[in-house]
Amino acid sequence: MLALVTASALFLRWLPHHGLSILLLFAVSAGAALAIYLTQRRRYGAKSHGVSREHVDADITAVIWTAFTGIALGVLGIGVVLAG
């Protein structure tokens, strides 16, 4: 989550150079960070109960969404660089 917040701040830093299109990258990374923040308490609870029960389900949805966020940021970034 903090890495996404840092990345979103870095994207915002280059707003003067890249223009408003960089706001898309900021929105995706900040939105993903916010989603992680809002769900982390529930996920932490599930994982800690899982450790005590010795059964943790692999969180495949979270893995897919996180990877998708990285890919989306890359696609948008290439678009911003080529358009600039």
Partner 1 sequence: MTNSQQAPGDAAPPSRGKIAERLLPGGEEPDPRFTLANERTFLAWIRTSLALLAGGIAIEAFTSDLFLEPVRKGLAIVLLLLGMLLSAGAALRWLRVERSMRHKAPLPLPLIVPLLAGAGAVAAAVVLVFVLWR
Residue numbers at the binding site for partner 1 (CB under 8 A): 3-4, 6-7, 10-11, 13-14, 17-18, 22, 25, 29, 47, 50-51, 54-61, 63-64, 66-71, 73-75, 77-78, 80-82, 84
Q: Tell me whether residue 38 or residue 60 sits nearer to partner 1 (CB atom).
A: 60
Taking the complex as a whole, the smallest distance from the CB of residue 70 to partner 1 amounts, in Å, to 3
Distance CA 46, CA 51 (A): 9
Distance CA 4, CA 26 (A): 9
Q: Please provide the size of the chain in residues.
A: 84
Helix/strand/coil percentages in the chain, nearest 5: 85, 0, 15
Q: Tell me whether residue 3 or residue 38 sits nearer to partner 1 (CB atom).
A: 3
Distance CA 39, CA 5 (A): 16
Q: Tell me whether residue 36 or residue 38 sits nearer to partner 1 (CB atom).
A: 36
Taking the complex as a whole, the smallest distance from the CB of residue 51 to partner 1 amounts, in Å, to 5
